[in-house]
Amino acid sequence: MTVTLFKAASQSFSEYKKAKAEFEKLTIRNSELEAKVNRRLLPKILFARQPQAKTGLEIECLLENSELLSNNTFISFYYTGEDEFERLIGTGVVITVQANGKIQALMDKPVSAYQGILEQLARNDAKILDRTVVKPSITREMMQNIYTP
């Protein structure tokens, strides 16, 4: 009887180890899938600068690859403040999608109320780059300009 109990305990422990290993594999796979789902859909700004020979505060940006954007897409730039509210700091257009997938964009209508943030963005400030998102959009103002004779 002791031998039978020992065999049963040994078999149970072996099955427990297999189940634990399988659970760990599933946990890793789940983490990989979560990361894939949560991957940013909106492109990150890789680099920003003021265009040469331009007057006013226009900003050229190099963005990550994004399936959301193509040539001549209207875009909006939003800065997320310390209070976690996004603020529209400018609008622009996708100039081109490069062969390597990176996107050249131009903010040609900055919101002057955010002059300080815009100047920091134009200087390629890492904190401002990180807190600024680019979204494909058509603003209400753009629509009014389209439909106003």
Task: Give pLDDT tens digits for 45-60.
Answer: 999 999 887 667 899 9
Is residue 69 within 8 Å of residue 43, measured between CB atoms? Answer: yes
Fold held by 45-147: Elongation Factor Tu (Ef-tu); domain 3 (2.40.30)
CA nearest 54: which of 127, 131, 110, 97? 110
Task: Give pLDDT tens digits for 36-47.
Answer: 654 568 899 999
Q: Give the integer Cα–Cα distance in Å for 104 and 28.
A: 36
pLDDT tens string, the chain, 149 residues long: the values are: 677 777 777 788 788 888 888 888 888 887 777 656 545 688 999 999 998 876 678 999 999 999 889 999 999 999 999 999 999 999 999 999 999 999 999 999 999 999 999 999 999 999 999 999 999 988 777 777 777 76
The reply to whether the predicted model has a pTM over 0.85 is no
What lies within 8 Å, CB to CB, of 60 at 6+ separation is: 48, 49, 50, 51, 95, 104, 105, 106
- C-alpha distances in angstroms, 58 versus 10, 40, 94, 109? 72, 26, 13, 7
Q: Give the integer Cα–Cα distance in Å for 67 and 141.
A: 25
Structural Rg of the chain based on CA atoms: 26
Torsion of CA 131, 60, 40, 116, to 10 degrees: 10
In the chain, where the domains are located: 1-39, 45-147
Q: Give the integer Cα–Cα distance in Å for 57 and 49.
A: 10
Q: Give the integer Cα–Cα distance in Å for 20 and 27.
A: 10
| DSSP code of residue 84 | S
